[in-house]
Copies of this chain bind each other. A is one copy, B any other.
Amino acid sequence: MALVVKKFGGSSVANAERVFNVARIITEDYKKGNDVVVVVSAQGDTTDDLIEKAVEINPGNRSKREMDMLLAAGEQISIALLAMAIEKLGFPVVSLLGWQAGFVTDSKYSVARIKNVNPERLRNELDKRSIVIVAGFQGVNKYDDVTTLGRGGSDTSAVAIAATLKADLCQIYTDVDGVYTADPRKIKGAKKLDEITYDEMLELATLGAQVLNNRSVEMAKKYNVELEVLSSLEQKPGTIVKEVTSMEKMLVKGVACDTDIIIVSIIGLKDAPGIAFKVFNQLSRKNVNVDIILQSVGRHGTKDITFTVPKGQKAETLEAIENIRPLIAFDDLVIKDTVGKVSIVGAGMETHPGVASKMFEALSDANINIQMISTSEIKISVLIDAVDCQKAVQVVHDAFHG
């Protein structure tokens, strides 16, 4: 007897057939004697359809409050339909909206943060041995207004419930059957991982392996909620995400490539204190997400600062630098658009110096030029030319998992 939280995304409940598939997964678990809480997203295209209606009526100045009110209807429909399917299979069930399930959030409409989950109603329903279906992605603020949690919000809802109820496991059902050592659609020999740590998962998610939403992994780590990423279409174990993985773990859990970045180099800055602060302070005011930063000594007592930012933030980045140009004075600004960041992720690699050299060797053997290198405790990233990305991931993956 365990308490299990299961989360199903919109594509898992897109039509009646899939709703019944999910209903069967849920009731199979319930029949074993487990308490089951289920978090569901809106069906398939519902959210997009609702957004379209909103844009038709008010493309410009509609409020986020009303947008949240509108979008929250999507999960309301899916929880009721899933509950009806479970009723059809003959099991006790109750669907709950975000506010009914006790989700209290702040008032940042469309990107609200969960403040707490009042577990009373959830516990009462579980005590009655009901299967509980909860609308993901939504809550209420202190004014009793409906809020939504933003992209990936249903994952966060599921983890929050698991944390609140101290669930034994939080299962995130997706259309892939787990977390892989590399993207299995692109890299030969990519292997499914049995286990991965929260930190490794977070690094991989950042690298574009968007199996799990980062906020939900951070919350799972904070409250020590054991996650399982698994497929809603195949009945087999997925990947467990937890604090410490077993001893015989692979050193390198994943290899991934991110081409959604640009390199910005500020050349010939005066070599004086506070210059770097002024640059990055200004970028942070513009909410630019700076990733890798390198500073090197340039010619004639100047220095160069090079960093990466997401492609989508190029405009803000240039604007920020222009804003402070009078304050910092530099010779040149160089932008490089066609760049790829190849990273390997694995807890414990900082104590194995051989890991980095093995990666560099593989790239060198493949004649791929490394432009920048950045390392952290559990990650090594190199910046290379974008056209080499696919090949780079394959040779690095082969080196560690071949």
Contact = CB atoms under 8 A, between A and B. Distances in A.
Interface of A: 16, 19-20, 50, 53-54, 56-58, 60-63, 65-67, 69-70, 72-74, 76-77, 79-81, 83-85, 87-88, 93-95, 97, 100, 121, 144-146
B76 A73 contact: yes
Count copies of this chain in the complex: 2
B54 A84 contact: yes
B76 A95 contact: no
Given A88-B61, A145-B100, A77 B81 contact: no
29 contacts: A16-B56, A19-B57, A50-B77, A54-B80, A57-B81, A57-B84, A58-B84, A58-B87, A60-B88, A61-B88, A62-B84, A62-B87, A63-B83, A63-B84, A63-B87, A65-B94, A66-B84, A66-B93, A67-B84, A69-B76, A69-B80, A69-B83, A69-B95, A70-B77, A70-B80, A70-B84, A73-B74, A73-B77, A76-B76
Contact of A77 (B19, B53, B145): B53
Given A50-B77, A69-B83, A97-B146, 18 more contacts: A16-B57, A19-B57, A54-B80, A57-B81, A57-B88, A58-B85, A61-B87, A62-B87, A63-B83, A65-B94, A66-B84, A66-B87, A67-B84, A70-B76, A70-B80, A70-B84, A73-B74, A73-B80
A94 B94 CA distance: 29
A121 B19 CA distance: 37
Contacts of A54: 80-81, 84
A95 B66 contact: yes
A77 B53 CA distance: 9
B70 A73 contact: no
Contacts of A69: 76, 79-80, 83, 95, 97
A109 to B, nearest CB: 12
Nearest to A95: B69
In the A-B complex, the 6 residue pairs with the closest CB atoms:
A70-B80, A58-B84, A69-B80, A62-B84, A73-B76, A58-B88
